[in-house]
Structure 1
Amino acid sequence: MNDRSHPVLIVGTGRGNEAAILNAALDAFGAEGFNGASMRDVAKRAGTSLSNLYNYFPSKSDLLAEVLRHANDELSARVRRAVADAGDDAAPRLREAVRAYVGFVVDHQLAMTVSTNEVRYLRGESRERLTAARDATQSLVAEIVADGAADGTFATPHPADAARAILSMVGAIAAWYRPDGRLSRGQLAEQHARYALALLEAPLPH
């Protein structure tokens, strides 16, 4: 497999070299797009044969669906852990959710980009499953915003719209982030957490 500058997203799956194949597919989709990448290209990047690749995944769509599932699972796990550790108050829960989300985008920029740009190529049941899983992940932020609006922590009169704006803002980082930029990973996460709280008309931490 080719060396990559981003951390490996799919660490292991319990099926031989399936993890290598999925990470190779992520690389291929990131470099060539879904239409431009071929199964032969994925096999070459994974260091396996084309016939072995088809033993694991019968189609390129199956590969894409599995790559995107892993990406959402990792994002969801990070956000859920951060929120669980933040206590009961809406403001710190929102702050940590955003920080965790930004951390995922920075750590797995390629996966976020592929998830955003290539999901349109999924069809049928695969798309429905992924959409449901993504909605569940995004609802973590929406629920925190709704809770904070209900108890007066957040003064915005438009909590649902604000939650969507926060998610869009954080997701867009994948399009412009550069590791050699002026902000560190932590500074970028903190900056966007402050943006989110300001958008919600919440008291900012000192």
Structure 2
Amino acid sequence: MTTWRDYGPPDLTAPLAAALEAFAEHGYHGTTVREIAARAGLSVPGLYHHYPSKQSLLQGLSELTMGELLERSEAALAEAGGDPLARFDALLESLLRFHMYRREQAFVGSTEIRSMDPDYREVYVGHRDRQQRMIDDAVQAGVDAGLFRTAHPEDAGRALATMCVGVSSWYRPDGPLGPDCLVERYLELARGLVGYRATA
């Protein structure tokens, strides 16, 4: 990753790439280990050498997805510095770009949380909560600075997260709205949601 705005193909092993493709098409429960192995060009025993179960593939994929999301979010905040509005804009832009460029990974993560083993689900929810705290903190910082007028910062934070995550369910690279245009529009909507008020 050169900067948090730069995206190339996802850095996935052949088994994880195959699992992602199959989970996105058929869902976790609709996918067999045999199908994943075939997509990866491996035998079933060969696949099990790398990942001992279908659940381990889901967990491995989810860990990589959340790790990249959090890394990019933290990089965006670090680059933005201490200005509350700059931090808010950078964090939202990072989330939006991630859910455009990693839409399949984000979609599988958000829809297959129900399929995760309970112990790992707790870990995954912890990652998700960490991301949500970044959003909540950015909103609260804007409120504290007098930039945002929302009387409900926690609700605003949840709504912003839902808005960004939702992009992964409908965005298409060949659609009418390019990434930069989408970011511009959604930042306008995000600022409106928190009641942004420019200072003199």
Question: What's 1:9 paired with?
Answer: 10
Which of 45, 66, 87 matches 1:72? 66
Which position in structure 1 is the counterpart of 2:4? none
Q: How does 1:1-80 map to 2 (within 5 A)?
A: 8-11=9-12, 19-80=13-74
* Alignment correspondent of 1:16: none
Cα deviation for residue 96 of structure 1 reads: 0.9
Paired residues of 2:149 and 2:197 also in contact (CA < 8 A)? no
What percentage of aligned pairs have identical amino acids?
Answer: 33
Aligned AA (1:9) = P
Q: Which residue of 2 aligns with 1:102?
A: 96
SS, match of residue 11 in structure 2 = coil
Cα 1:147–1:72 shift into 2, 3 Å: same
**Structure 2 segments unaligned to the other structure (5+ residues):** 1-6
Q: Using structure 2 for the length normalisation, give the TM-score.
A: 0.91
Structure 1 residues 7, 41: closer, same or farther in 2, change over 3 A?
Answer: farther
Gaps of at least 5 residues in structure 1 are 1-5, 12-18
Contact 1:57 1:63 in 2 (8 A): yes
Provide the secondary structure at the position in 1 that maps to 2:177: coil
Counterpart of 1:15?
none
| Counterpart-to-counterpart distance in 1, 2:50 and 2:65 | 19
**1:17-43 deviation line (CA, Å, top 9, x unaligned):** xx1111111111011100111111111
Q: Determine the structure 1 residue equivalent to 2:110.
A: 116
Q: Give the C-alpha shift of residue 7 in structure 1.
A: 5.9
Task: Return structure 1 stretches of 4+ with deviation > 2 angstroms.
Answer: 6-11
Q: Which residue of 2 aligns with 1:185?
A: 179
Q: CA deviation at 1:182?
A: 2.1
The correspondence for 2:132, drawn from 128, 133, 138, is 138
Q: Work out whether residues 65 and 106 of structure 2, in 8 Å CA contact, stay in contact via their aligned partners in 1.
A: yes
| d(CA) in 2 for partners of 1:192, 1:79 | 17
> Could you tell me how far apart the structure 1 residues matched to 2:19 and 2:123 are?
20
Deviations 1:55-102 (A, max 9, x none): 222211111111111111111111111111112111111111111111
Alignment of 1:92 with 2:86, yes or no, is: yes
The change in CA–CA distance for 1:25 and 1:72 in structure 2 (over 3 A counts) is: same
Distance in structure 2 (CA, Å) of the matches to 1:138 and 1:190: 21
